[in-house]
Chain A
């Protein structure tokens, strides 16, 4: 299948991560529908096209997740690709949600002609949060009904996924997200200036904030602030640590996903609810750390790594508790289907 055909590129990417059965039954039909709907939406405005585009991709992600929890699929492809597929599906869903949420309010501000560019620039920021979350939910939901989900061997695949996600998130947090954030601010500034018919404003370059600085720029800004404005140093050092701690969170959340899977049993709803609680708890700890930095003398490094540390300790404790409670198998028959 040529990658130049509409939908050909997406099909080429997914052909590497799904089985031929999934490709034939799910991926090709959903992409074919997406292409038809995109062709129908042509000439009906950019908002309509973006809506059809997002709806089609959410449908694809949903179909992959639904298909991956059906028994024939699990039997056909084994647990490793099963957990990977669920994680990938969760990443697509979370990314679509995180991109769609800001666009709803901003499409009037930035104009329809810039929507495609805005989506491209919002994607890195969305992925920065979606990847760690999808590791947690992918591991928690993907190991459901797996025969070996109570065996210690099952940890290898989630931790491998967590490691890959960590490397990707690290690169995103240090290089891609700051550049995308800065470009996005320029585009929004230009759009607002154009709306106000202020051509002179359009050429101004907005100053970079902490979230727009590359690693080198952030280090230089910290060195400068030590002399000029020491009160800002803690916040800047905290931001630098958060970029790394967010990436390492992928590994911690993979361990948390395993703990959730063991504690919640086979019930998908219970696993989903527990994973949601872990997400809320992690975010609350992150907010507490950020508050420490601004209101007390706590080390910025400690504040940035507290959420990871607490979650890791709790996950290891939950896994240890679960393993100690697990009775040795009496016979060769498994307790899980």
Chain B
């Protein structure tokens, strides 16, 4: 346990990627996230990652307005929250600091 607490905090790669994509492209559906990630996010896992981010309040979502004649189920649009943006900035700062430290 001691070694774990002494190590640097880790940030799941996929969660970071989702935050970066939402910050870059704006609100998106889950399937759009899969498409713009160029294979880094999978259909089967993107909603699990989005769920974890929603638990942390870094992402929120709302149901798309659906036309009464539309077929299929309503989809959810996901967007990064202000807290998520701050986390992204903090991660960028940590990365920059670590990169400076290793020079």
Contacts and interface: CB of A to CB of B under 8 A. Distances in A.
B51 A1 contact: no
B42 interface: yes
Contacts, number: 76
Given A26-B47, A33-B31, A5 B71 contact: yes
A59 interface: yes
Interface stretch (A61-69, A198-206, A269-277): A61-69
Q: Which 6 A-B pairs have the closest CB atoms?
A: A62-B44, A59-B43, A35-B72, A32-B73, A59-B44, A33-B31
Contacts of B54: 25
Interface residues of B, number: 20
Contact of B75 (A1, A29, A72): A29
B93 interface: no
B48 A67 contact: yes
Contacts of A62: 42-45
A33 B44 CA distance: 11
B99 to A, nearest CB: 32
Given A25-B47, A29-B30, A63-B47, A35 B74 contact: no
Interface in A244-294: none
Given A25-B51, A33-B31, A70-B52, A61 B72 contact: no
A36 B44 contact: no
A61 B43 CA distance: 10
A36 B42 contact: no
A69 to B, nearest CB: 9
Given A30-B44, A32-B73, 12 more contacts: A5-B73, A6-B71, A11-B73, A26-B47, A26-B48, A29-B30, A30-B47, A31-B73, A36-B72, A59-B44, A63-B45, A67-B51
A33 B30 contact: yes
Contact of A72 (B31, B43, B55, B71): B55
Contacts of B29: 33
B12 to A, nearest CB: 12
B44 A32 contact: no
A85 to B, nearest CB: 13
B79 to A, nearest CB: 15
A30 B72 contact: no
